[in-house]
A and B are shown apart, each in its own frame.
Chain A
Amino acid sequence: MLLFEAFLALLQIILMYFITESPRWLFQHNKKQKAIVALRKFFKETDPKGRAEVESEIYRIEHLETFEGSIPMRQALYELFNIYDRGLLIGILLFIGQQLSGYYVLLSYGPTIMKDAGFGGSSERDNIINTIPLVLVSCITSISTIFLSDK
């Protein structure tokens, strides 16, 4: 089982080389040609709509956005803590709420919790099999979130 995960990690390392660099970052560092090539990978070239999208995206980055996002880190941190502190607080609270909603804990200790609740099997293996319904439920709701999230 662990070997399988090691294989997945290896696959990830190999696939990393195929990830394009951020077009915005390339524009900021004056590598326009590379940025356009990277940008093209995000849209379907054969589709006229896709080509138009690339054009408008290039225009947007070039004329509207390159001057942003390139401020020194100290300045950014100063702004973050002094001006945009409310957004930061909300962001932190959102993630603390995420952790304390108990999801990760329930999933990680699923076998133990199920056993304590009286659904334990005779062996360790049975306990793990008992948690499959839990994982299935969360899998199904995650997929249905795609259709719900923009409501």
Chain B
Amino acid sequence: MMPVSALALVIIAIGNYLIYYQDSAAGPWVTLVGLFLCLIAFSPGVGSQSFVLNSEIHPLQVRSEALSLITAINLLTGYLTTAFFLTVTTTSVGKVATYSTLAGVCCLVWVFLYKVLPETKGIPLSDIPELFLSPEKKVLAEEIYLQFFGQSSDRKKQLS
């Protein structure tokens, strides 16, 4: 749904452009469609899936630390976006530019996530973090696991 978000933001930008530069009657309606589309794209897409994925991709022993850190960054980004939004959208150039920039960033994040995210369907929860490890890091992780828990992580899998 990320590309839909980006598309919606582009539509809002076009709507604002029509209002301020072309003085067109269609402008408000284009903006309205963009607004609705953006809100619709959020919930099934990045709005809910970022929570689901974040609870899956970290291994159990670091999950609490990882999630606290990520939540802090999330709220910080939220503060920054809401704090600067009103300032940058006071001028008509700013309005068009802001929505376009947001759309561009959305596209970039989407492309990146599309490349790095594997399908997690049907994989046991404890195996998902390993999907992100390179071979040498896998060895390192196994060593640390042995050192701390005195048993190989494979033994755990046999038990379950």
Contact = CB atoms under 8 A, between A and B. Distances in A.
Contacts of B2: 97, 101
B60 A69 contact: yes
A101 B65 contact: no
A96 B109 contact: yes
Contact of B53 (A94, A102, A134): A94
B28 A117 contact: yes
Interface residues of A, number: 57
Contact of A93 (B27, B48, B69, B113): B113
A141 interface: yes
B44 A91 contact: no
A131 B62 CA distance: 41
Contact of B66 (A84, A112, A113, A145): A84
B44 A149 contact: yes
B44 A92 contact: no
Given A94-B50, A94-B53, A87 B82 contact: no
Given A67-B149, A106-B39, A101 B46 contact: yes
Question: What's the dominant secondary structure at chain B's contact region?
Answer: helix
Question: What's the dominant secondary structure at chain A's contact region?
Answer: helix
B74 interface: yes
The residue in A80, A116, A117 that gathers the most chain B C-beta atoms within 10 A of its C-beta is A117
Contacts of A11: none
B149 A87 contact: no
A20 to B, nearest CB: 18
A141 B4 CA distance: 14
Contacts of A37: none
B158 to A, nearest CB: 10
Contacts of A117: 15-16, 19, 27-28, 31-32, 35
Contacts of B32: 117, 119
B139 to A, nearest CB: 10
Given A86-B133, A134-B36, A149-B44, A97 B109 contact: yes
Interface in A37-77: 60, 63-65, 67-69, 71, 73, 75-77
B112 to A, nearest CB: 6
- Nearest 6 pairs between A and B by C-beta? A94-B50, A95-B74, A118-B28, A97-B109, A103-B42, A117-B31
9 contacts: A76-B61, A79-B61, A88-B70, A93-B112, A97-B110, A100-B81, A103-B39, A119-B28, A141-B44
Given A71-B61, A90-B57, A134-B36, 19 more contacts: A68-B60, A76-B61, A77-B65, A79-B144, A80-B58, A80-B66, A88-B58, A91-B66, A92-B73, A93-B109, A95-B71, A97-B109, A99-B77, A99-B78, A101-B45, A116-B95, A137-B36, A138-B39, A138-B43
